[in-house]
Amino acid sequence: MPAAPKPEILAAFEAAKGFMPSDEGLALHAAAVEAGRLGLPLLEVGTYCGRSTILLADAAREAGVTAVTVDHHRGSEEQQPGWEYHDPSTVDPEIGLMDTLPAFRRTLHKAGLEDHVVAVVGRSPQIAAFWGTPLGLVFIDGGHTDEHASGDYEGWAPHVAEGGLLAIHDVFPDPVDEFTGQAPYRVWLRALESGAFTEIAVTGSLRVLRRTGAGI
């Protein structure tokens, strides 16, 4: 069983701004530790302020690989003004738009993990279109509309190496959660139905699947 993150890493995770519960974070860290053994980068889509990045970066550091984050840092739909998950402190006062990049950099600096992360700032489909490196893990935690969740899956799942892991966050099967987890749920179903992935772990709303075939 993978070792849990050291107390200082777990403390940094819990102190960081974000929405991932601790049990799901520990499961993500365990998946990242396992995936790191492939010797390939670990990539997340949807960074926000870096809460989950801490766990991926810690696993990457231990494995001697790099954690890559993909985010435009303008916030997803549910994080915009007037929505439940909006945090006014993330708004750039000069231009009036969200900008979580400064908070993200502070998070990594405080955790001592800056040297183990490459932050790619931009929109997921644009970056995925020219990405050419196999990945040990892809963690999908971006926008929760069908357009964005499907784009993240279609853009990044093909880059998961054989034996690598695909983790999908906020998978909520109940239709009452249409605006929080139905799009990730539908992406999870697509992954299973593709025949390319086999589910290996479930923790709360986090699903972890292993790449076991082609056909995405």
* Active site members: 144
Structure tokens at 194: 């593709």
Helix (H) or strand (E) holding 94: none
Check if the beta carbon of residue 211 is closer than 8 Å to that of residue 28: no
Coil/strand/helix, residue 55: helix
Give Cα separations from 192 to 1, 32, 34 (angstroms). 25, 20, 20
* In contact, 101 and 70? CB cutoff 8 Å: no
- Collapsed DSSP state (helix, strand, coil) of residue 139: strand
Is 174 exposed, middle or buried, given 0-12, 13-18 or 19+ CB atoms closer than 10 A?
exposed
Classify each residue of 67-92 as buried b or exposed e, where b means 16 or more C-beta atoms within 10 Å of its C-beta. Answer: bbbbbbbbbbeebeeeeeeeeeebbe
